[in-house]
Structure 1
Amino acid sequence: MNDRNDHNPSGLLSVDEARSRIFDMLRPIRGDEQLAIRSALGRVLAEPVISGIDVPPYANSAMDGYALRAADLPAEGTATLKLIGRAMAGAPFEGRVGAGECVRIMTGAKLPDGADTVLMQERVEAEGEQVRINAGHRPGENVRHPGEDMAVGQTVLEPGRRLTPADLGVLASLGIPEVRVRRRLRVAFFSTGDELVSLGQPLGEGQIYDSNRYTLYGMLQRCGAELLDMGVIPDRREAVRRAFQDAMSQADVVITSGGVSVGEADYVKQTLDELGEVHVWRMAMKPGKPLAVGRLGEATFFGLPGNPVSAMATFYQFVQPALERLGGATPGEPLVLKIPTATDLKKSPGRLEYQRGVLARDAHGNWTVTSSGRQGSHVLTSMSRANCFVILPAKSAGAKAGELVDVQPFAGLI
């Protein structure tokens, strides 16, 4: 997947170089807040979570069975023990297990004093107050020890972690009702173009509905950002300038779609040059060659292409991981799998391509990938039908059926 060293006579940045430049310019936002753990799902931890207790807090049984002393396990043959009571979860046995004795115990129940081993109920013979056990058991079987999951003083969750449902359970296990998390990123976004019409308005001659703001809204929602939708901005220099100034005064991140190519009415990059600075523009990537990235005062700016598939591809490959870093999340590597293509994939050498594919099992149960259909950067249904990107290197001339290709599942992105 690495295309850093691909020869590129066009002067376009390689995807790796563009990604490196973007990530180098990012600085996480400041600010955090205290939240109840039920409100903290998907938020980024601002400080470490350190265990103040052992989990489990006491030795307990991993099985329904019988608690006894390992000293009473027979080396050969059988042994008969006296049943002296029961231990239930939340209702422990109050006495002590002595030589030749055992206690009926349920999963999760506290191990009685004197006992150090639990035998599964299926592996003993019980009749009245007599329990017969066979040889072949290990001392300490089926016992969960204090602190086995989490120990006092252990750092359980690190800062920068985006909290998952399992993490909420971990926090609850530690008796922690609230956590400190990073504040949400504030993101302003708008589309540019005289041809774009907002939903609910009639289409005029040569006009289309603005789809990019809705895909952007959906992708940003899944990133957990606070959103400021500024609508459609006409292709007028002053209108674009006012929109930039308004957005940069309110948001940590400003995202536009359209207006970043070199057309006469493409004012986004021109305005960015005037009000801020450009760090990245034009990449050896398909779809998504025109991408402007830079600074607008204190805000980070992303100017996405106008074609809908290009906008989505550049968002997932550059903007989403950048938002993670800006929000204080610990960076992670995207999931990329080697999967055989079931059909030929066409491509011309020159740019790294993110073709849209469908990852599925074949008749034999093996994973394969196929094209999701027409691959034009304007064909939004190629994204709607797809569940993955098929990543073809810049030097590649495509792939033949049966060849292994790099596949990036959308499940790891959205």
Structure 2
Amino acid sequence: MPISFYEARQQILDTVPLLDIETVPLIKAAGRAVAEDITANQPLPAFDNSAMDGYAVRTEDCSKGTVLPVIGSLPAGEVSAGTAQPGVAVKIMTGAPVPQGADAVIPLENCKTEHNQITIMQTVKKGDHIRWTGEDIRPGDLIIPAGTPLRPAEISLLASLRQATIPVRRQVRVAVLATGDELQEIDELPFKGGVVNGNSWALAAAIQEIGAVPLIIGIARDNLPDLRQKVTAGLKADVLITSAGVSAGDHDLVRKVLEEFKVKEIFWKLKIKPGHPTAFGIREQTPVFSLPGNPVSTLLTFEEFVRPALLKMMGHHNILKPLYRATLTEPIKKKKGRLQILRVAVTLDPNGEMLVSSAGDQNTGIQRTLVASQGIALLEAERDFFAAGEKINIHLLGPSTAIGY
């Protein structure tokens, strides 16, 4: 009995396991999810330092029009040997430690400099242009919660705090298996009726895009011995994804072979379009996704079901893409009974509001429409018409999809 889009996704996320924790060098941690809460082991900044090129002073010596002699210069990386003396200024560069006793920095542009002395041109307040020890981060602060993916910003913070290694969840290894007698590899000579195995390339790219590791194990022909051999290899990975062979035709043997391997089927067939024959099961701790063979259906079902599952396995907490409300610029018709995964073109109006329209022919044999899409609209199963001007839910495709004006 087919189940709904949302039931299927929840069953998948309730089933897939978390992978083991490993510790990796910081340089290899980008994009990975932190496996444990990370707390600061030192303050940031580590010392009081100047936020500007200027002069370190004591505010009690400063008023507008005051003239102070300049008795030295502190470049970044050099520490003053003594304390700030009354009635003098010390030239200081951005990032240099503030001399003990100084409580403000006057920027170069806020004073007049001549003959090794400065004339103060503006009011000086305590703390002006000083970055105080620990004002950003204090020892013991929670700086990165478990499940957070490490972007360049997090990497910068960890490096600043001398965190050379980081605990992360292991990258999921995903076996990719295409099925069908009609398939041929990209570098083989074409034959009549042959179809290039683009699905394995597409799935491998989608797997890499989220920081997982694809393992392409080739093409299984439409016979039980070959399919058994390839499934045996695929089940050695953390996850197995098959494409094609899960419908009800004479040559659709994938479900039969998976049953032989004691893969427990969680569901088969969904109330969605495209992607109706999608199946999901598990063998011990190894999830198995059986996706439709049509290239568009393969990628869309990966996007909506497999992608969040792999992210969960790798310890990510935010695994579903955010939904945005966008305005339809044209009417959309569909049949009731199935949620439609609609490929949409996304633009912004002059006010920055999202506008969406069909990206083209929604036939699942048309790959060009998916290439032209910046987003996906999830059109409710119980409705058959969406009017122009109506707001609908969409999410964007890809990690860096750009929206045009």
CA gap 1:333/1:225 in 2 versus in 1, 3 angstroms? closer
Alignment of 1:3-14 (within 5 A): 12-14=2-4
Q: Which secondary structure does the structure 2 equivalent of 1:355 belong to?
A: strand
| Amino acid aligned to 2:3 | L
The answer to whether the 8 A contact 1:362-1:368 is kept is yes
The answer to whether the 8 A contact 1:95-1:113 is kept is yes
Q: Which residue of 2 aligns with 1:102?
A: 89
The answer to whether the 8 A contact 1:85-1:93 is kept is no
Q: Partners in 2 of 1:320 and 1:299 — Cα distance? A: 15
| Amino acid aligned to 2:258 | L
Q: Which residue of 1 aligns with 2:206?
A: 219
Q: Partners in 2 of 1:392 and 1:128 — Cα distance? A: 74
The answer to whether the 8 A contact 2:179-2:244 is kept is yes
Instruction: Identify which of 302, 315, 325 aligns with 1:328.
Output: 315
Alignment of 1:55-74 (within 5 A): 55-74=44-63
Q: Partners in 2 of 1:165 and 1:382 — Cα distance? A: 33
The CA deviation at 1:204 is 3.4
Q: Partners in 2 of 1:327 and 1:364 — Cα distance? A: 38
Q: Partners in 1 of 2:393 and 2:268 — Cα distance? A: 25
Q: Which residue of 1 aligns with 2:241?
A: 255
Instruction: Identify which of 280, 283, 299 aligns with 1:296.
Output: 283
Gaps of 5+ in 2: none
The answer to whether the 8 A contact 1:316-1:413 is kept is no
Q: Which residue of 2 aligns with 1:183?
A: 170
> Is 2:226 the partner of 1:239?
yes
Instruction: Identify which of 321, 325, 345 aligns with 1:358.
Output: 345
The CA deviation at 1:301 is 0.4
Q: Which residue of 2 aligns with 1:3?
A: none
The answer to whether the 8 A contact 2:297-2:364 is kept is yes
The answer to whether the 8 A contact 1:44-1:160 is kept is yes
CA gap 1:138/1:349 in 2 versus in 1, 3 angstroms? farther
| Amino acid aligned to 1:64 | D
> Is 2:24 the partner of 1:38?
no
Q: Which residue of 1 aligns with 2:381?
A: 394
Q: Partners in 2 of 1:107 and 1:349 — Cα distance? A: 65
> Is 2:355 the partner of 1:368?
yes
The answer to whether the 8 A contact 1:44-1:182 is kept is yes
Higher mean C-alpha displacement, 373-382 vs 388-397: 388-397
TM-score of the pair, normalised by structure 2: 0.90
Q: Which residue of 2 aligns with 1:23?
A: 13
| Amino acid aligned to 2:136 | D
Q: Which residue of 1 aligns with 2:116?
A: 129
Higher mean C-alpha displacement, 344-353 vs 217-226: 344-353
The CA deviation at 1:277 is 0.7
Q: Which residue of 2 aligns with 1:319?
A: 306
Gaps of 5+ in 1: 1-10
CA gap 1:141/1:394 in 2 versus in 1, 3 angstroms? farther
The CA deviation at 1:305 is 1.0
The answer to whether the 8 A contact 2:59-2:126 is kept is yes
Aligned residue pairs, count? 400
